[in-house]
Amino acid sequence: MKALRIILILAAVAILALVPWFGSDVLIQFGINALLLAVLAQGWNIIGGYTGYASFGNSVFYGLGSYGVAIAMVQWNLPFYFGLGFGVVLAVVFAILLGIPVLRLRGHYFAIATLALAQVMSAIVSNVALAGRNIGLVLPPLNNDPLFYELSLGLLVVATLTIYWLTRSRFGFGLIAIRENEEGAAVMGVNTTLYKTLAFALSGIFSALAGGIHAYWITFLDPESAFDISLNVKMIIMAVFGGPGTILGPIVGAFSLSAISEVLSSEVTSIAGLFFGVVVVAAVVLMPRGLADMLRRFRKTGWRYFSENIRAHRI
C-alpha cells in the first residue's frame, strides 16, 4: 500500500514534468500559474495549517520575492538566481523582524495584524526609488515557458518534501504542538517563539521563491500587482479547501480550484473571483476540515457528513 502510494506520486510528478513536451502553450501557462499557487498554498500550510497561525499577509513575502528578482536584475544587472536569493533574504529578514512582535498575537489579532501589513506594503514600496516607485520595474524578457514550468514544479516538489519532513521531525511536532495548545507546548520544552518565527520564515521563503519566478516570467511588476491582497484569498482558500495541515491537501485544492476558475474566467473575469468567495463560504459551513478529510469520512457516513459538520458548530 505504502509502496504503491509512492509509485503513484512519482508517476504523477513524472507526468507533470513531461507536460511541456506535449502540452499546448496555453496549458503550460496555466500550469505555471497553478503550480505557483500550489507553492503559495503549501507555504501558507506551514504557518496556517501546521502552526495554527492564520496569516492573512503571506502576499507580502510573494511581493518581496518578486521585487528581490526585479531589483537584482534591473537595478544591479545580476543574474536571475542571485535575484531569487536576494528575494529570499528579504523575506527572511521581514519574517524575523516583524514575525517576533506579530507572532506574539493570537487568533483574530494575528490575522488582522498580518492583513494590515499586507495592505501597507504596496503604499510603502511605491515610495522606494530603488523599486521603481509606483511605476514599477520592467525585467529583461526570457521567452522560455518550459523552463519556468519546470522551475515551478521543482519548487512545489521541494515545498511538499519540506512539509513531509515536518510531519516526521521534531521541529514539525513542535509546530503541531503549538497549534494544539501553545502553553502546553511551552511547558513541554518547545521554544515557541523560535519555532513560530522559523515556521513564518520557512513559509515566507517558499512564497518569495514563487514570487521571484512569477516576476521573471511576467517580466513586469508594480506595487499593486506584486503585493496583491487577493493573492492571500487564493492561497488560503486553496489550502483550506484541500485540507490544511495535510501534505497533499493544498496541492489538490490549488489544482482543482485553479482549473475551475480558469474555465469560469474564460466566460466573465469577475465570475472567477465570485466563485472563490462562494467556495470559501460553502467550505467553511459544509467541510471545515477540507477535501482530504471529507473524502476519508464520506465513505463511512455518506451525505450525513455535511449535516454533522453543521450540527457541530451551529447555535
Partner 1 sequence: MDLLAQILINGILLGGLYAVMALGLALVWGVLNIVNLAHGAFIMLGAYVSWHLYTYAHIDPFLGLPITAVVMFCVGYALQRGILNLVVRAPMFNTLLITFGLEVVLTYLAQLAFSADFRTINPPYAGHSIFLGPVVVPMVRLMAFGVAIVLTVAMWLFLLHTRLGRAIRATAQNLVAARLYGVEPRHLYAMTFGIGIALAGAAGGLYGTVSQINPYIGATLTAKSFAISIIGGLDNPLGVIVGGLFLGIIESLTALYIGPTFADVASFGVLVLVLIVRPSGLLGKTA
Q: Which residues bind partner 1 (CB under 8 A)?
A: 52, 54, 56, 101-102, 104-109, 111-113, 115-117, 119-120, 123-124, 126-127, 229-230, 233, 236-237, 240, 268, 270-271, 273-274, 276-281, 284-285, 288, 310, 312-315
Rounded to a whole number of angstroms, the minimum distance from the CB of residue 274 to partner 1 is: 4
Minimum CB–partner distance for residue 243 and partner 1 (Å) = 14
Of 117 and 247, nearer to partner 1 (C-beta) is: 117
Of 299 and 313, nearer to partner 1 (C-beta) is: 313
Closest separation in Å from C-beta 268 to partner 1: 8
Of 85 and 243, the one with the shorter C-beta distance to partner 1 is 243
Task: Compare residues 18 and 124 and give the one whose CB is closer to partner 1.
Answer: 124
**Shortest distance, CB of residue 9 to partner 1, whole angstroms?**
29
Q: How far is CA 268 from CA 30, 164, 261, 263, in A?
A: 17, 38, 10, 10
Closest residue by Cα to residue 118 from 195, 73, 55? 55
Closest approach of partner 1 to the CB of residue 73, in Å: 26
Between 5 and 314, CB nearer to partner 1: 314
